[in-house]
C-alpha cells in the first residue's frame, strides 16, 4: 500500500444517545438523525451491549423496512433473522448480516440465548433514489467468511505486533472484503473495517477517497487519530469521531497505556440526495413515504 500523503483529522467527537428499540432492547444510538446529511450515505449506527437479558431478550419482532440497507455485526451473542421474502439465518459471534430492504421487507431479529453478553452493531446505509424500489436481498456472513489480515510488525515504529483487520466491506492492504459490489450499481462504495489494536504503539493507515465521508467508533480501549504534524486526538471508549474530508486517508494507533483497542472504521461515497424518513422507511420525498406507509398498512410492502 503506498504511503499516505496527508491524513484526515478529527472534526468532532460524538457521544451516543441511550435509547431503546424493538420490543424494548436497550442500546446506544451513535449516529443520530441530525448527522445524516453530514455522514451521508449513512443513516444510523446503533450499538447494543449488555449481559442482562432484560435489556435484549425480547429482541426486534416483525417490523418493516423500505429504501435502504441494514448491516448487522455481532460481536458476541446469537440473533435469529426471518423475513417476508423467505430468508432465515442465525447470526453468531463475529458474523455479519447484510440486508437490502429495497422496495420492502418485514423481518424480525430475535436473540437466541437466555443469558450472557449480547453485543453488536447495526448500521443503516442509504440507497440512491433509483434503487429504493429494487428487489430485496439478504446475505448471512459467518465469522470464518470475513477476510482478515494483520499488518506487518515492521510497519510499526516500535516493532510491536501489527493491527488485525477484519474486512467486512471495501478493501484494506490488498485484501478485499466479504461484500464486494460494483460501484456503478452501488455508488455508496462502503468501507467497513473492524480494527483490533494490540497494546503498544502499532500504527494503522487506511486510504479513504477524499469525497467519501468517514468516521470511527471505539468500542474497546482508547484510539488516537494522528495528523500530519505528529499530533494526535484521543478518541475514548464509546465515542464516535467524525473525520474531516481533507486528506487521502486515516492514521490510527491505540493510545499509550490503553488496553487492546477495537474500533470500527466506516466510510462511503455520499449520495447528495434528499432524505425523507419516517421510522423504518427512508425515501427521497414525503409522497414516497406516504406510499410506503400505505403499502405496509395494505399488506403490499413485501
Residues (pLDDT < 50) of the chain are 154-156
List CB contacts of 165: < 8 A, sequence separation 6 or more.
148, 149, 150, 151, 172, 173, 175, 193, 194, 195, 196, 204
pLDDT at 153: 64
Q: What are the grid coordinates assigned to 190, written together? A: 462502503
The pLDDT mean for the chain works out to 93
pLDDT at 279: 94
pLDDT at 156: 47
Architecture of the domain made up of 10-286: Sandwich (2.60)
pLDDT at 155: 47
Which residue matches cell numbers 429495497?
Answer: 102
What DSSP string runs through the chain?
A: -PPPSS---EEEEEE-EEEEETTTEEEEEEE-GGGTTTTTTEEEEEEEEES-HHHHTT-EEEEEEBSEEEEEEEEES-EEEEETTS-EEEE-TT-EEEEE-TT-EEEEEEE--SSS-EEEEEEEEE--GGGTTSPPEEEEE-GGGS-EEE--GGGSTT-----EEEEEESEETTEE-SB---TTT-TT--EEEEEEEPSS--EEEEE--TTSEEEEEEEES-EEEE-TTS-EEEE-TTEEEEEPS-SSEEEEEEPTTPPSEEEEEEEE-------EEETTEEESSHHHHHHHHHHHHTT---
pLDDT at 2: 74
Amino acid at each position: 500500500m503506498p504511503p499516505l500523503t496527508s491524513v484526515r483529522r478529527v472534526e468532532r467527537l460524538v457521544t451516543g444517545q441511550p435509547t431503546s428499540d424493538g420490543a424494548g432492547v436497550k442500546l446506544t444510538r451513535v449516529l443520530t438523525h441530525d448527522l445524516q446529511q453530514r455522514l451521508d450515505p449513512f443513516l444510523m449506527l446503533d450499538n447494543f451491549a449488555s449481559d442482562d437479558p432484560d435489556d435484549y431478550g425480547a429482541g426486534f419482532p416483525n417490523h418493516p423496512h423500505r429504501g435502504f440497507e441494514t448491516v448487522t455485526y455481532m460481536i458476541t451473542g446469537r440473533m435469529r433473522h426471518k423475513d417476508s421474502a423467505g430468508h432465515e439465518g442465525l447470526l453468531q459471534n463475529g458474523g455479519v448480516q447484510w440486508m437490502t430492504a429495497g422496495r420492502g421487507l418485514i423481518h424480525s431479529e430475535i436473540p437466541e440465548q437466555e443469558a450472557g453478553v449480547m453485543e453488536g452493531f447495526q448500521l443503516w446505509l442509504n440507497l440512491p433514489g433509483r434503487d429504493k424500489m429494487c428487489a430485496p436481498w439478504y446475505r448471512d456472513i459467518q465469522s470464518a467468511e470475513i477476510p482478515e489480515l494483520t499488518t506487518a510488525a515492521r510497519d510499526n515504529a516500535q516493532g510491536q505486533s501489527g493491527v488485525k483487520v477484519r474486512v467486512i466491506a471495501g478493501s484494506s492492504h490488498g485484501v478485499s472484503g466479504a461484500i464486494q459490489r460494483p460501484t456503478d450499481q452501488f455508488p455508496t462504495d462502503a468501507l467497513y473495517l473492524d480494527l483490533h489494536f494490540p497494546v503498544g504503539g502499532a500504527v494503522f493507515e487506511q486510504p479513504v477517497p477524499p469525497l467519501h465521508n468517514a468516521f470511527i467508533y471505539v468500542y474497546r480501549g482508547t484510539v488516537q487519530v494522528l495528523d500530519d504534524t505528529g499530533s494526535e486526538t484521543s478518541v475514548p471508549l464509546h465515542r464516535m469521531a467524525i473525520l474531516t474530508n481533507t486528506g487521502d486517508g486515516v492514521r490510527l494507533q491505540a493510545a499509550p497505556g490503553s488496553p487492546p483497542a477495537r474500533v470500527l472504521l466506516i466510510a462511503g461515497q455520499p449520495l447528495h440526495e434528499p432524505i425523507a424518513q419516517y421510522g423504518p422507511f427512508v425515501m427521497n420525498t414525503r409522497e414516497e413515504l406516504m406510499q410506503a406507509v400505505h403499502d405496509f398498512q395494505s399488506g403490499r410492502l413485501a
